[in-house]
Every structure is written in C-alpha cells, then in structure tokens.
Amino acid sequence: MKNRIYIKDLHEHIGTQVTLAGWVDVRRDHGKLTFIDLRDATGKVQMVALPKNEAAHEAAGTVRPEWVIKVVGEVKERPEKMVNPDLPNGDLEFVVTELEVLSPAESLPFDLDTDLNLDTLLDYRPLTLRRTRERAIFKVQAAIVDAYRTFLNNEGFTEFQAPKLIGADAEGSGEVFEVEYLYDRTAHLATSPQLYKQILVGVFERVFSIGNVYRAEKHATSRHLNEYTSLDVEVGFIDDHTDIMAIETRLLRFLCDQLRATCEAEFSICGAEVPVVPETIPVVKLREAQELIFQETGKDIREEPDLEPEDERWMCEWSSREHNSDFIFITHYPMSKRPFYTYEDEDDTGFSKSFDLLFRGIEITTGGQRRHTFESVVEGARQKGLDPENFAFYLQAFKYGMPPHGGWGMGLERLTARFLNIPNVKEAALFPRDINRIDTLFSSGSERDTEVTGQDDPGQ
C-alpha cells in the first residue's frame, strides 16, 4: 500500500501527515468526538475523528471491531497532562482527516479481551490468534526459531530440509501415519528427521533441521501433539554425549539472551519471565534421580525405565531449589528405552549415553550419542527386533565411514509453552493437530484433555 507507515514508526513522523492501515480494536463515542483504537502487525494507537473533518467523522462513526480501514491523519504529541504511560503510544495523538473502509466485519462471537477456555480458543483459531496474548505467544515462538537458527549458523552448522514422506518405519516407533503412495505402495509421515540428519553428518559434520514431524499416538494430554515442529541437531566428531549437552547449554544461554533483548513486552503480556541459564546445567543419572525421589518422598520408582510426568516436575523443583536452575539433564536411560541407534555406555553396561533435558517440569529435549560403525548399527537394530534390510538406504552411510556423532530433538511448541508458563502445549501451536481435531473437532463428543502417563516422545 503506497505511502503507508507502520504504527511502530509513528514517533518518527510527529508533526506530519501519514497513512495508516489496520484493524479496528474498539470505537468509542464521546460527545461529538469519535475515538478509534487501530491495530496493525506492529502495535496500537488511539485516533480521534473531529466533527470539523465531516466525511472522516461520519465514516468513523460507522466502523466496528475488526473492520479493516485505511486512515490519513496528523501525528501530534499529546499535552503533558494528557499523556497515558499505560497505553501503547500513549504520548501521541493521531487526528484523522480521511478514513476509508477496506473491509467490513461481522460481529465477533465473543469479546477478544475476555478469558476464553481452550475449546473456544481452538474452535475459533482464525479469530483468537488476533488476541494480544496469542500474538505475543507466537511472536516469542518466531523469536525462538530465529535465535536457534542464528546460533547454529554462527557455530558452523548447515541447515537441511528433511523429507516428510518416508518408506518403512525404520525406527520401529510403531505409531505412524500411513499414506497411500504411488504404485500401490504405502509410505509414512516421518516421526523424526533422525536417520537423515545422521546421514548428513557424513557430509557436513554439523547439521540442523527445523520442520514438522508426525506421531500417531492417541494421547489426550496437555503435553502431546500429533504434529509438532522439531528442532533437530546432529554433530560429528564428538567424544561422547556430554559434548552435545555442552552445545545445547550454550544454545539455551544465547536463546534466553535474545528473548530477553527482543521479547520483553511479550513475556510481560503472558506473565512470564525469561529464565537464567546457568553456566553448567545440573546433570543427574536416571538411577540417581530415582533414588533421590525415593529418599525424599518415599515413592519407589527405582526399577522403572523412565520418569513419569510428576517425577519430571519433582526433579525440576529440586533443581530449582538446590541448584537455582530451571533446567536439569537426566542421563543414562536404559538401552531398552532408547532407539536402536543409541550408544551404550561401555562403563555402565545396559545404560545409554543419552539424556533428556527437563525444563520447568517437562521434558523438552531428548538426545545422546549414536552408534557410528556399520556393525554396531546393525547389531542395535537386531537387538530391537528390526530388520536391517528395511533401512538399507540409511546404512549406506555407515558402510563407508561415519565419525562418532550425536544430537538432539527439541519440540518447539513445548519449549514455547514452558518459556511462557502456558499450561497446555496446544495453546503454543498455531493450528494444533491432536486426538480431537484437525482444525475443527472430530465430533462434539470427543474426549477432552485427560492427563495420561507413559513413555514420552522426544521433544513432543
């Protein structure tokens, strides 16, 4: 749109006439004056239409919330006694001289500023995303992706795009979405870019991917999605899994610094604070964590292969209390709980050089060192009851030399939710896909969120 400026730039145009365009937040009539709060992608401003500008004043009296308008007017500084520091651009006054309706709107089915339950938030997603809180959530999410990519690019990583259609379910995860493919073949939606990022370690050494992955588990919890964005990393020439943990710690420090610098207003809107990442995140082996829980609470999970959600919350509370850290690494999960490509600790038989990163009560990352010799990978597959022939394509890389390597998978929606203290991960997904809905509910009688326990999928 010619000559249009953004609301965020109004202070650069005080004393001049400019063109704005956006959505009507609210219209208020005070006697002969008509006030309009205008919203665009960058902010809000209060405008006033005066009777002396007859056409503009008359047009202003017709607009309603969510109407799309274009206005021409003069940017002025408010008199000192009229400045409102609690309002966006509360030190400015925008006097409308021309107003054009670009698109009228029907009345909203609810007030955007009121508290809405989860079903309403998702059933009316195209509308509720216009709310101040939802815009803040996804501004933060965009900043997370930007910082993630910036850090890894600066560290010499190469970004790649992993395929989403794959052949056999080589990882043996079981719960995959099947897709009718060409020539009567069945393909699957990828549950992870894992095998492809390992292949690419043999090409670029350090790689990362940001993309959607799909899990067909019928979860109905506040923690799970059937489609989510996975932030994946794989690094070659490592000594062991602690190298991966060190890189992730530096990444998180950079990420939090960036969020603190760019998203202060959005965190305030959501009533959250950017965490401080310690120089060294506490590290506890799974068995040590289980023993600690037993000694402190009497709950005996020492023979279990994993932590339940309530155990993860307890360990995060312990880490915050004892180490002043919102983050904690749990390492050395049983080989029986990890995928076939996971590296076994030579000094701790039966346990893996793997880790989960817990943050504010929930697992946000699963990672570790991988098997890197051809014989070891084949052996790992057979131990899991998998046929190596099903992923012969992947094994080519290992026949011809792969360095020691490892990496992680991190769920973007979970990470966003934890940063902003959002109770349900679905609120941190733009258009969530879960057991109940693809955009709209499958049926009015669908099962609602019910917390269930069981194995947690990496970063989901």
Question: For residues 256 and 402, what is the distance between their CA atoms, to the nearest angstrom?
Answer: 33
Q: Per-residue pLDDT averaged across 368-385, rounded? A: 96
Q: Rounded CA gap, 14 and 125, in Å?
A: 37
pLDDT tens-place string over residues 424-447? 999 999 999 988 889 887 765 444
> Left (φ > 0), alpha (ψ -120 to 50) or beta: where does 15 sit?
left
pLDDT score of 167: 86
Closest among 257, 269, 273, 41 to 136, alpha carbons compared: 269
- Position 170 scores a pLDDT of 55
pLDDT for the residue 21: 98
Instruction: Identify the weakest region by mean pLDDT among 50-64, 162-176, 193-207, 340-354.
Output: 162-176
Instruction: Evaluate if residue 451 carries a pLDDT over 70.
Output: no
Cβ neighbours of 64 (radius 10 Å): 13
Averaged pLDDT, 3-21: 97
Identify the pLDDT of residue 456.
Answer: 41
pLDDT above 70 as % of the chain: 95
Place of tokens 């990022």: 197
Give the ranges where 125-193 is alpha helix by DSSP (H).
125-128, 132-154
Element (H, E) at 246: helix 241-262
Mean per-residue pLDDT of the chain: 93
Look at residue 44 and tell me whether its pLDDT is greater than 60.
Answer: yes
Instruction: Map tokens 């402190």 to a residue.
Output: 296
Q: Alpha carbon of 181 to those of 158, 174, 227, 319, 388: distances in Å? A: 30, 19, 20, 48, 22
Distance CA 207, CA 204 (A): 7
- 321: pLDDT confidence band, cut at 50, 70 and 90? very high
Tokens 């001289």 locate to: 97
Amino acid at the residue 451: E
pTM: 0.92
Confidence at residue 55, expressed as pLDDT on a 0 to 100 scale: 96
Please enumerate in sequence order all residues whose Cβ is within 8 A of that of 126, keeping only pairs 6 or more positions apart, or say none: none
Instruction: Tell which wins on pLDDT, 449 or 318.
Output: 318
pLDDT tens digits, 132-181: 999 999 999 999 999 999 999 999 999 999 999 998 765 666 689 999 99
Check whether 404 has a pLDDT greater than 90: yes
Q: State yes or no: pLDDT of 403 exceeds 70.
A: yes
